[in-house]
Structure 1
Amino acid sequence: MLNDTRVTEFLLLGFPSLHHQERLMAIGLLALYLVTLGGNVLIISVVLAESKLYKPMYFFLCNLSCLEIFITTCIIPKAIGNLLTGRKAISYPGCLTQCYFYSLLGYIEFVLLAVMSYDRYVAICYPLQYAMVMSSQLCLQLLLGSWTAGFLATIVSTVLVAKMPFCNDNSIDHFFCDSMLLIKLCCAETQIVELITCMASSIIILDSLGMTAMSYLCIINTILRRPSASSQQKTFSTCSSNFTIVILGYGSCIFMYVQPSSHHISYNKAVALLNTVVTPLMSPFIFSLRNQLMKDAVKAGLKTSVIIFRKHFSV
């Protein structure tokens, strides 16, 4: 395949049926984006500031919040700009970059969710060995492994797509550069690229989903063996936030990429909004509201901020 690219930019069609409401939609997306940034930055700040949260669970939670910020920032600002200006174009390098980082960050998040489920498995099923098993060194290795897996799953298909020629049609019926839609615009044989992309995504998604499912099955089995109902309820409450994010993340991606081709693209756009806006928005609230230690730390942080503000204002 020769790098005979004639297309210099792509057109992101976005939401043609909502043409007259684009300004209103841009304002709504901007509000959600700012709340998402604020919520996830708050979690990161609280975890870094509160020594009681220096534990593996909150270490991974902090990294998950970073990923949510990166994923949202990769997609939403460009979509807001297109809605406000009415100019749907994105440059060829910009489109490839958006494809790469969206896939990379998504794969990393899937592996990280599996790692978080393993952390909960060790904490609940082997509480006495938890501190020894989930050492700082292992946590760093698991995080590095997540980034490495995401990089390896993304880089090959991205390089192959970058070498593909795009000759005529440059319209992408989405609000961001989706890799599968981009591959369909290539004016050359795409079977190898599609196969590699499908294999990489299947390995990451199915393996991480299998590990997550096994971890939670073991957790549920352990919880049901406990005689105390209050202990069962407390443990279920601890895992419910992780489980909610797992359902939202895997459910949306399975709907978008593992479905009959007869499904309309508008459904994919709606689910993509769920995956790039709603899930990152809900993550900080789910983890904060379902975790007493996080709630106490947030309250303490807000109280300290108010005191500092009052002292500064009084001066």
Structure 2
Amino acid sequence: MIVRDEIRTLVEGLTLPECPRWHKGNLYFSDITAGRIYRLGGENRAELLYQSDGDFVGGLGFLDDDTLLAVLSKQRRIVRIADGKAQPYAALSDLCPFVLNDMVVSRNHAYISQPGFDIWADHPDGMPPATELLHVDPTRSSTLAATEMMSPNGMAISSDGRVLYVAESTALRITCYDIDPATGALSNRRLFAQLPDGGFPDGICLDDHGGVWAAVPVAVSGTSFGGGPGVIRMIEGGEVTHLVRVGSGRRALACAFGGNQRDILYVCTVPDFEVASAESDSQGKLECIEVEFKGQGVP
């Protein structure tokens, strides 16, 4: 395993940075509990694009016409963001009893994860119940895309739009589905990798050699939570080939490739915490490191 620790800070003073997305030469990311969406600007300044009115902003994605979509977690809906304002796109409260989490968008199909409990209020003892993955098609119709998912979290889609990767956090695994290119329906569920040493996958992204990179903020041992290793790269079957360590006392929440060559790995980090939904008291960071792979697909 190759270990890297030359990660550097780009943006500080964030609360719960998450969901980094590279789109047409720019990096976008959420500050979830601050209710904000940022774009990384010149001199690595975080440019505020949107401030929610009391809700948490989760997953981000782009339609083919470059429209920015965002998850409003507690309202359980998807909105379009333009000129600092949110416009309705899809209401998902009928399919989501608690809160929404992350989202990945490709070819105008959006897939949205939900933890199956209120991660902002509840910290259940033991394993939370299985839940569903949601799908919003290009007509904005919403359906259940997959069932019996264990805390589905970060997601990624291959560059040909035909494979969806899902981090099932509490099952400590990465699961794959085939995507029907005509309808967006999912099929052929299969295991890509079981994480080692109780690793709890959060945000994920893909590289050009078939690897999945997963931010691992938590290592689970029995009923106790410990600090995760950082960001790991896995190949199919679960072998870990690379590890990017984040600073001492910090945890990685999400990752995405970007840069002109898509060889920069952006990582969202927060200080150590006792429970996985804790806020970071404005100590969250956006960090980055150059790697020997290039990103592919989305995010």
**TM-score when scaled to structure 1?**
0.26
Q: RCO higher in 1 or 2 (8 Å CA, sep ≥ 6)?
A: 1
More helix by share: 1
The structure in which a higher percent of residues are strand is 2
* Higher Rg: 1
